[in-house]
């Protein structure tokens, strides 16, 4: 049986501030344990960045103290996008990077994500090693060996130049008007500069963080403000980041939302046009079937990974793909960087719009998303769906009715006691009917 982690989830450690493991005491211990595991020389260093939550100050100080106690130097980046921290971990030749963020969650939550020296997620072995040390008392390094802390004054400038370099020096977005929604999050200062320095006219919203308003009514999970602003400003396009700027949702000039599935398809076709892409792309179990069919028409195979950018990246490496993403807007351009990056992904789309003289609305025209119905069925205890004949027979019957024009997915949630029932197909009425029937069968048999 596979060993279970006590602290790390699929995307670091996250929860409500002041409860469970999201406390200054735990952060202190986590900094020390991570320092002991990740440090590999007398001059090891770890970078720490954060989003704009008020609790970030508290956790930054606690992590810094723990790392210092382990004899590790600390480079403080301040509020920076998660992908920027991955990039700076690599370029500053640090042994690891730590992100203090709860991504798209509200300010009451926070968490800790780690990057390796290569700017990638930590391996399971390293996470297990850190967890093992968390169960031991802190043993402080000798006074002469304690770590020092310093701030990286040019962190923002380094990342801005990196983003601009991802689309080449010849890129000029002059004549393009953009509304940028920063979700009152970590991209509030670097995001506007990237697009402005490339020549675009930028109207910015959601860029006044106060420690409490991150993701509140703005950003990739709440696009209404951006949709309205695009229409008011008569902009060419809207760009929505989430709280730590690793998710991207866009809005076309009509005020219509373009999600991660569609954006991945656009970038894949752009790469194919330029001869820089590959014949495979990675999505997830939730990627819309219409997107898969659109990619097939271009000769591009969609590989499906489990939900979560960690699993998308694993599948990308397994299939030798350079592009992958989720409908939520996590988009990984491996030919440019090592993790999901909203700004990098947005630039790929903007350059394609400019190069072929097309609007975002036209770019999405080749993708017809199929109706999708998702029902969460609450359960009292875990069940092996594959061993329940009644449920499996109901699934087979639904799949027979959908034929090649749809699909069925049953998935146990990893965070709450529910079975997620998803039915997708070209016929919206049939999709709705089958989803409700399957949910009823599961309810009867659990």
pLDDT value at 88 more than 60: yes
Question: According to the model, what pLDDT value does residue 114 have?
Answer: 96
Alpha-carbon gap, residue 182 to 263, rounded angstroms? 18
Helix (H, G, I), strand (E, B) or coil at 425: strand
What structural domains and CATH numbers belong to the chain?
A: 13-153 (3.40.120.10), 159-366 (3.40.120.10), 372-445 (3.30.310.50)
DSSP state at residue 140: P
Query: Can you give the C-alpha Rg of the chain in angstroms?
Result: 23
CA distances in angstroms from 206 to 107, 187, 219, 267, 350, listed in the order given:
14, 10, 7, 26, 21
Question: According to the model, what pLDDT value does residue 39 have?
Answer: 80
Alpha-carbon gap, residue 338 to 358, rounded angstroms? 29
Alpha-carbon gap, residue 247 to 361, rounded angstroms? 20
Contact 38, 54 (CB under 8 A): no
* 307 against 80, higher pLDDT: 80
Percent of the chain with pLDDT over 90: 87
Reported pTM: 0.93
Read off the pLDDT band of 417 (50, 70, 90). Answer: confident
Question: According to the model, what pLDDT value does residue 415 have?
Answer: 61
Read off the pLDDT band of 2 (50, 70, 90). Answer: low
Q: Percentages helix, strand, coil for the chain, rounded to the nearest 5?
A: 40, 20, 40
181-199 pLDDT tens trace: 999 999 999 999 999 999 9
CA distances in angstroms from 280 to 266, 277, 347, 369, 446, listed in the order given:
14, 8, 21, 19, 38
Q: Which is nearest to 397 in space by CA: 364, 427, 437, 368? A: 437
Strand bridging mode 73-79 / 45-50: parallel
Question: Which of 19-23, 294-298, 313-317, 412-416 is the least confident region?
Answer: 412-416
Question: According to the model, what pLDDT value does residue 418 have?
Answer: 86
Question: According to the model, what pLDDT value does residue 383 have?
Answer: 75
Read off the pLDDT band of 384 (50, 70, 90). Answer: confident
Within its chain, how far is the Cα of 163 from the centroid?
17
pLDDT value at 291 more than 90: yes
Question: According to the model, what pLDDT value does residue 239 have?
Answer: 98
Contact 218, 205 (CB under 8 A): yes
Read off the pLDDT band of 387 (50, 70, 90). Answer: confident
pLDDT value at 414 more than 70: no
Question: E strand or H helix at 432, and its extent?
Answer: helix 428-445
Question: According to the model, what pLDDT value does residue 386 have?
Answer: 83
Q: Which is nearest to 307 in space by CA: 289, 291, 326? A: 326
Question: According to the model, what pLDDT value does residue 412 have?
Answer: 81
Alpha-carbon gap, residue 359 to 252, rounded angstroms? 8
Question: For residue 54, what are its two tokens?
Answer: 């008020």
E-strand stretches of 101-142: 109-116
Question: According to the model, what pLDDT value does residue 288 have?
Answer: 94
Alpha-carbon gap, residue 282 to 305, rounded angstroms? 7
Read off the pLDDT band of 385 (50, 70, 90). Answer: confident
Select which of 103, 116, 166, 321 is catalytic.
Answer: 103
Q: Which is nearest to 98 in space by CA: 146, 190, 28, 202? A: 28
Alpha-carbon gap, residue 124 to 152, rounded angstroms? 29
Query: What is the arithmetic mean of pLDDT over 319-345?
Result: 96
Cα angle 317, 319, 321; round to 5 = 70
Continuous H helices in 2-112? 24-38, 56-69, 82-91
22-69 pLDDT tens trace: 999 999 999 999 999 988 777 799 999 999 999 999 999 999 999 999
118-158 pLDDT tens trace: 999 998 999 999 999 999 999 999 999 999 999 999 999 99
Alpha-carbon gap, residue 77 to 155, rounded angstroms? 6
* 445 against 370, higher pLDDT: 370
Active site residue 103: yes
Q: Is residue 254 classed exposed, middle or buried when 0-12, 13-18 and 19+ CB atoms within 10 A define those classes?
A: exposed
Query: What is the arithmetic mean of pLDDT over 107-116?
Result: 97
Residues in the chain: 446
Within its chain, how far is the Cα of 192 from the centroid?
20
**Half-sphere exposure (CA, 13 Å, Cβ side) for 276?**
14
Alpha-carbon gap, residue 197 to 174, rounded angstroms? 10
Contact 287, 308 (CB under 8 A): no
Beta bridge partners of 15: 110
Q: In what order do the strands lie in the sheet with 109-116?
A: 13-16, 109-116, 96-100, 45-50, 73-79, 149-151
Question: According to the model, what pLDDT value does residue 324 have?
Answer: 98
Contact 181, 241 (CB under 8 A): yes
Mean pLDDT of the chain, nearest integer: 94
Q: Is residue 278 classed exposed, middle or buried when 0-12, 13-18 and 19+ CB atoms within 10 A define those classes?
A: middle
392-408 pLDDT tens trace: 999 999 999 998 889 99
pLDDT value at 1 more than 70: no
């Amino acid at each position: 049986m596979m060993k279970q982690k006590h602290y790390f989830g699929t995307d670091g450690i996250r929860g409500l501030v002041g409860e469970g493991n999201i406390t200054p005491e735990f952060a202190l211990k986590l900094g020390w344990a991570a320092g002991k595991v990740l440090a590999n020389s007398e001059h090891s260093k770890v970078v720490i960045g954060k989003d704009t939550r008020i609790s970030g100050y508290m956790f930054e100080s606690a992590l810094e103290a723990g790392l210092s106690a382990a004899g590790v130097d600390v480079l403080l980046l301040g509020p920076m996008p998660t992908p920027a921290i991955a990039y700076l971990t690599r370029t500053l030749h640090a042994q690891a990077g730590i992100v203090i963020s709860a991504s798209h969650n509200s300010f009451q939550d926070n968490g800790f994500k780690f990057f390796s020296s290569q700017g990638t997620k930590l391996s399971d072995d390293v996470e297990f090693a850190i967890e093992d040390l968390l169960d031991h008392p802190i043993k402080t390094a000798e006074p002469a060996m304690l770590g020092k802390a310093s701030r990286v004054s040019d962190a923002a400038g380094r990342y801005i130049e990196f983003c601009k370099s991802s689309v080449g020096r010849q890129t000029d977005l002059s004549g393009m008007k953009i509304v940028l929604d920063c979700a009152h999050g970590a991209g509030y200062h670097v995001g506007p500069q990237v697009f402005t320095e490339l020549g675009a006219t930028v109207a910015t919203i959601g860029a006044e963080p106060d420690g409490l308003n991150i993701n509140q009514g703005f950003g990739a999970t709440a696009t209404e403000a951006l949709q309205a602003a695009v229409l008011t400003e008569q902009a060419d396009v809207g760009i929505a980041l989430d709280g730590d700027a690793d998710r991207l949702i866009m809005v076309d000039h009509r005020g219509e939302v373009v999600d991660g599935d569609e954006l991945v398809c656009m970038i894949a076709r752009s790469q194919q046009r330029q001869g820089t892409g590959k014949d495979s792309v990675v999505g997830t179990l939730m990627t819309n079937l219409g997107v898969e069919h659109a990619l097939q028409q271009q000769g591009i195979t969609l590989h499906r990974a489990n939900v979560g950018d960690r699993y998308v990246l694993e599948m990308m490496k397994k299939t030798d793909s350079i592009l992958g993403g989720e409908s939520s807007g996590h988009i990984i351009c491996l030919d440019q960087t090592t993790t999901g990056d909203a700004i990098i992904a947005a630039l790929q789309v903007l350059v394609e719009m400019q190069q072929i003289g097309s609007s975002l609305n036209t770019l999405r025209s080749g993708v017809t998303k199929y109706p999708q119905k998702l029902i969460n069925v609450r359960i009292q205890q875990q069940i092996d769906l594959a061993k329940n004949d009644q449920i499996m027979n109901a699934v087979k019957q639904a799949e027979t009715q959908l034929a090649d024009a749809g699909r069925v997915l049953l998935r146990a949630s990893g965070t709450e006691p529910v079975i997620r029932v998803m039915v997708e197909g070209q016929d919206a009425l049939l999709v709705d009917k089958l989803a409700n029937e399957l949910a009823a069968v599961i309810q009867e048999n659990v």
